Structure 1
Amino acid sequence: MKRLVRSAALAVCLLATALSGAAQTASTAPKTLRYAFPIAETGFDPAVISDLYSITVVSGILEAPLEFAFLERPVRLRPNTAAAMPEVSADYRTFTFRIKPGIYFADDPAFKGKKRELVAEDYVYSIKRFYDPRWRAGRLYRLESNKILGLSELRARALKERKPFDYDTPVEGLRALDRYTFQVKLAEPAPRFVYNFAEASLTGAVAREVVEFYGDRVGDHPVGTGPFKLGAWKRSSSIELDRNPGYRTVLYDEQAPEGDARLQAIAREFKGRRLPLVDRVKISIIEEPQPRWLSFLNVEQDVAEQVPAEFANVAFPNNELAPNLAKRGVLMLRYAKADVSYTYFAMENPVVGGYTPDKVALRRAIALAVDVEREIRLVRGGQGIPAQSMVGPEVQGYDPAFKSESSEYDPARANALLDMFGYVDRDGDGWREQPDGSPLVLEYATQPDQLSRKLNELWKKSMDAIGIRIVFKPAKWPEQLKASRAGKLMMWGVAWSAELPDGDTFLALGYGPNKGQSNHPRFDLPAYNALYEKQARLPDGPERREAMDAAKKLLVAYAPYKPTVHRIWTDLAYPWVLGYSRNIFVREFWKYVDLDPEAQARRGS
């Protein structure tokens, strides 16, 4: 009996020692927030990247002049590196920014051991980089569509003369007025142009010395003034962001929405604390849903961002947190994304492209054969709503009352359309041919992950039901993106997320001059282009909404896209993640959350 007592006492002693050791280690180790991306990054040069996950990383490293208040709803712009909100002319054509003195870039060999202050010319240079043909900027349209005076002409001259882009040539539309002031002038009014200056991956400051020092490899060496800097990085495997020791003093000062007791408590508790609150962010790339979900359950991740749809009914049946997770103190956060999932049809492709009635009928028939409700229920675990247009929720221009053919499932009508326009089975093999008798085969680009495979199964059943052959062309995301930009894909199923709280970013997907950038199907309809330009010039109000609705209807009618779902995201966070919240227009949420390292260590860091 005494031996048992001594053994029990020894066990308690060892456990106490272990817990004490874990707590001591946790108190000295860097606070490391761990979570996972489902898709690999492509690089970290803002002028080159266009994918969500690379943009997310860059947003923690670079800084734009403005930012969105993290907790406030509705969203509100506020100064970031700017000393105040910009001066905007009455005609929305001139924007003047003044930058705070005393902000410095993170130390880097490109600066040759000297401290490098952020100045107005850095923003001028960074914006010009998008116009440099050398970088083939996929998001140039975001700036070029606003017609900054002189920049498009400077780019056109470089292309025509086949000479390097001349960064030193002054242009009327973008210039530094003094060391800390820069001004942007537009050819036409752009009431929402200022939103672009809250997107760090678009207007974040990059130092010219860094680009010239690293050259074509600058995407491997991002250097900014933000709260984090790139640490250890294993391409397509893991990304570590370390606290930037030279980051200026920025204190937590957030205003929570009325009626949200949890966020109000966070705002009170964290007020006055220096940002960022964690020392390191470790991002794992886990493409398959099951290992990503198991990684969270095994406490290898602190946050499960967007729980995979396959596990929605396990993690939160009927949208209620599962009892086993609730017992572990897990926080569940559910929110609508400003996004749209869709399939596009390449408008220059000889099979599915074109603007003639027969080609339009083919695309509309294919779209009518897709059962969106089934996709949401069986593939996405109920985490989404049917998309009525290409404009996603949570942005200006989204109308929940707007209804269209986009969400309709009507295979009988699809078959009738195909018959009417001559897409019939001419040789009796059970498959339809084109009106001229040539084969009708759809080639669908896809990714080799579980979600894509399930979506492919639905597409196969849908096309079988209307007698159209479909084959799938799987490849990794970066490969498909490169081929898509070059116009080499017939169809591709992807998603688009808004970076700004305005529907223009969705309508830009159909704007002709954006071909090869956001407009991957290369849709180019003069009537649509005119509506897009009209809504871009108008201030928010009934006239603009009318133009936006008319543009949405043209996209439905000509069907370069088949919008399917607006996703609903559900995040889970363990209880040692303190202050967790999300603002869908703030990528770098990490700087606003803290960790209890002792609790994290005890539960399996």
Structure 2
Amino acid sequence: MDRRTFSGLALGSAVTGPLWAQPAAAAKKKVLRYAFRAPESTLDPVKASDIYSRTITAHIFESLYTYDHLARPVKFKPLLAAGMPEHDEGYRVWRVKLRSGIYFPSDAAFKGQRREVVAEDLVYAMKRFADPKNVSPVWGFIDSFKFLGLAELRQKAMDQKTAFDYDTPIPGVRALDKTTIEYRMAQPRPRFIEFLAASDLFGAVAREVVEHYGADIDKHPVGTGPFKLTEWRRASLIVLERNPEYREHFYDAEPAPDDAEGQAMLAKFKGRRLPMIDRVELSIIQESQPRWLSFLNEEHNLIQEVPPEFISQAMPNGQIAPHLQKRGVRGQRVLMPDNAYTMFNLEDEVVGGYTPERVALRRAIALGMDVEREIRLTQHGQAVIAQASVAPQTTSYDPQFRSAMSEYNPTKAKALLEMYGYVDRNGDGWREQPNGQPLVLNWSMEDDQRGRQRSEIWLKDMKAIGLKVEFKTGKWPELLKAARAGNFQVWQVGGQSASPDSQGSLQRYDGSQVGGQNLARFKRPEMDAIYTKLSEMPDGPERDKLFVEAFRIGTVWMPYKIRYHSVRADLFHKGVTGYRRPVFWQEFWHYVDVES
């Protein structure tokens, strides 16, 4: 799933413990500068679901495990954990031992001191997702793991209209002692380590910090990670600096033997203390041209996702343009584990519901969308048409798989509409609903250049099949907020897989995640049963067959039109070394060096 004015954080008084050696006065700070193309929404992990917010939180907070920065295929490594997890009772119980000597940095919440991480910090962090007061968009995903007692504790607070009781122990998430966490779930979870490796969401959180800052906790993210927030101008500028109290953490990785680039990075950086840079400056530049010019003018030394309209200037035929090569610019192209999709509000009185005529309308709209043209005009060829919700680079993705999801057939779309009573009764050129009422599609759209391009394409596509469209424009965070509340009819978003398991792409179909990852508010018992079964099954051919059935159900009911998977081109100026785009995770700043 698959996105604000604050500065000068007061982080307490004198620091105790080992610090980074102070650089010489003349030493120039190493700064990574780049831009997000949409604003962040929050810096509180419990409320984050967009990739921009989660990129920031992933560098402030740390989870029990992480991904090897260079390994492809991916490998998991201990981060806060002392070693790999233990599991028993058929993957229903998982236990993790914490590494000693890891601290939250000095903060006013700790009376100006630093404080060592304990197992209860991970328990508390998990319980925050269940607290109804936090209205976490990730709660449905958490609940799908069926941690014993967690949903019941949440329900008790809701039923009694009382504060969530963080002090009541539950068997599902508990500290066995100061350094041991145990997770107990109702069903087997063979891939639970993927859950434990999401630093952007499930990092250690100190209860003292949350209680100290209260409603302002969003402005005071305090984690164990390599960076700390120092300036925040919402939707404009976010500045993070090296955490001066970050523990000794050294560069190491396991690239594949035939990965020449990865092996070269390992040889260059192995043993270097992390992070290697001093500061990260993130701008919010939603329009493509100024974002591209900021990179060309070296105001930014990295650009993630070269705007498609400039790809021919940047990487013609997949190669760095000669004029950029002369300046020392380097780059990478990656088929992303993502989906771009159009979604329908299944609770809407026009496009929602499960009756044959409503399903026919959604399928006709999907058949009428010329995705190949969209890719050519808005992505400039930097995408591949999607066949299902499964994302590239995940376990059950098959590049040879084909389905009706990708079909473009306006003739069939018109026949489907005619069959189910969507006809032009008054001769004005637009179809009415089967009951004779006017039919107007209210389509939400971002008010930026790409949004305007898409609106022109889809206006033409829908006109060709006799459907009238009116666009409601707004800023991304506003549209996301409305979608979570179910206040939309048709909208388009993108989702990126957060783990290697293809099941992550099916969260948007899970009925328990309505308002969270499931923005379409789709609920079908057969899909919910498949989602639950997929969670419990080990990897293998039988599980892959179940994915195909899930893809079929998604195509039949069409709550989402999965359009394409994007190809991203990232460029970086001379001096930026060590960059490799993460696949399923967000953290990478501490593995990058910026040389003068």
TM bucket normalised to smaller: over 0.9
- Residue of structure 1 in register with 2:5 after alignment: none
Partner of residue 461, structure 2: 462
Partner of 1:411: 410
- CA shift, 1:472, in A, is 0.7
- Counterpart of 1:548 in structure 2 is 547
1:242 is aligned to 241
- Structure number with bigger Rg: 1
Indicate yes or no: 2:133 matched with 1:101.
no
Separation in 1, partners of 2:554, 2:384: 19
Q: Distance in 1 between matches of 2:335 and 2:25?
A: 35
Corresponding position of 1:346:
345
Name the SS for the 1:522 alignment partner: coil
Tell me, what secondary structure is at the counterpart of 1:390?
coil
Distance in 1, Cα, partners of 2:145 & 2:532: 9
Contact persistence 1:364–1:559 (CA under 8 A):
yes
**Residues 383-398 of structure 1 aligned to structure 2 (within 5 Å):** 383-398=382-397
Q: What is the SS of the residue equivalent to 1:106?
A: strand
Q: Are the aligned partners of 2:515 and 2:521 in contact in 1 as well (CA < 8 Å)? A: yes
Distance in 2 of aligned mates of 1:115 and 1:390: 44
Pairing 1:273-422 to 2, within 5 Å after superposition:
273-422=272-421
Residue 590 of structure 1, CA deviation: 0.8
1:505-557 CA deviation, whole Å, 9 max, x = no partner? Answer: 11110011111111111100111111111111100111111111101110011
Q: Does 1:518 align with 2:517?
A: yes
Residue 58 of structure 1: how far off its partner (Å):
0.1
Q: Is the 8 A contact 2:91 2:188 kept in 1?
A: yes
Cα displacement (A) at 1:256? 2.1
1:237-280 deviations in whole A, cap 9, x for unaligned? 01111000110001101122222322211101111010000011
Query: Which residue pairs with 1:497 in the alignment?
Result: 496
Counterpart AA for 2:386: A
Cα offset for 1:192? 1.2
Q: TM-score, normalised by structure 1?
A: 0.94
The match for 2:8 is none
Correspondence for 2:475? 476
Deviates more, 1:526-535 or 1:579-588: 579-588
- 8 Å CA contact 1:104, 1:118 repeated in 2: yes
* C-alpha deviation, 1:26, in angstroms: 10
Give me the whole-angstrom Cα distance separating, in 1, the residues matched to 2:100 and 2:362.
Answer: 55
| Percent of aligned pairs with the same amino acid | 49
Cα distance 1:26–1:418, how it changes in 2: closer, same or farther (>3 A)?
farther
Shift of 1:195: 0.7
Q: Secondary structure at the match of 2:35?
A: strand
Shift of 1:185: 0.3
Q: Which runs of 4+ in 1 moved over 4 A?
A: 24-27
Please show how residues 218-257 of structure 1 align to structure 2 within 5 Å: 218-257=217-256
The two structures have a TM-score, normalised by structure 2, of 0.95
For the Cα contact (< 8 Å) 2:499–2:585, is it kept in 1? no
- Residues of 2 paired with 1:435 and 1:258: CA distance? 62
Q: Letter of the 1:472 partner, please give it.
A: F
Structure 1 residue 27 displacement after superposition: 5.5
1:340 aligned counterpart, secondary structure: strand
Q: How far apart are 1:281 and its partner, in Å?
A: 0.6
Q: What is the letter of the counterpart of residue 587 of structure 1?
A: Q
1:141 lines up with 2:140 in the alignment: yes
CA contact (8 A) 1:47 1:129 kept: yes
Q: Secondary structure at the match of 1:107?
A: strand
Post-superposition Cα deviations, 1:404-440, rounded to whole Å, max 9, x if no partner, equal 1111111001011011111000000000000110011
Could you tell me which runs of 5 or more consecutive residues in structure 2 were left unpaired when the two chains were aligned: 1-22
Shift of the alpha carbon at 1:142? 2.2
Contact 1:397 1:503 in 2 (8 A): yes
Further displaced range: 313-322 or 223-232 = 313-322
Is residue 196–residue 202 contact of structure 1 (8 Å, CA) maintained in 2?
A: no
Q: Does 1:112 align with 2:103?
A: no
Letter in 2 for 1:592: Y
Distance 2:26 2:568 in 1: 33
Whether the 8 Å CA contact 2:315–2:321 is kept in 1: the answer is: yes
Which letter maps to 1:222?
P
Question: Aligned partners of 1:26, 1:278: CA distance in 2, in Å?
Answer: 16
Residues 25 and 112 (structure 1), Cα distance of their counterparts in 2 relative to 1, 3 Å cut: closer
Opposite residue 390 of structure 1, the aligned amino acid is S
Matches of 2:384 and 2:249 in 1, distance apart? 38
> Which is worse superposed, 394-403 or 37-46?
394-403
Matched letter for residue 369 of structure 1: G
1:450/1:444 CA distance change after superposition, 3 Å: same
CA contact (8 A) 1:106 1:229 kept: no
What is the CA RMSD across the aligned residues, in angstroms?
A: 1.2
Alpha-carbon shift at residue 90 of structure 1 (Å): 5.0
Structure 1: distance between partners of 2:249 and 2:585: 16
Quick check: 2:421–2:433 contact (8 Å CA) kept in 1?
yes
- The alpha carbon displacement at 1:446 in A equals 1.1
Q: Secondary structure at the match of 1:263?
A: helix
Task: Find out whether 1:92 has 2:91 as its counterpart.
Answer: yes
C-alpha contact 2:59 2:200 (8 A) present in aligned 1: no
* Residue number in structure 2 paired with 1:429: 428
The separation in 2 between residues aligned to 1:323 and 1:29, in whole angstroms, is 30
Residue 172 in 1 paired to residue 168 in 2? no
Residues 70 and 586 in structure 1, CA contact (< 8 A), matched pair in contact too: no
Q: CA deviation at 1:202?
A: 2.1
Task: Tell me the distance in 2 between the aligned counterparts of 1:434 and 1:26.
Answer: 72
Q: What is the one-letter code of the residue matched to 2:449?
A: Q
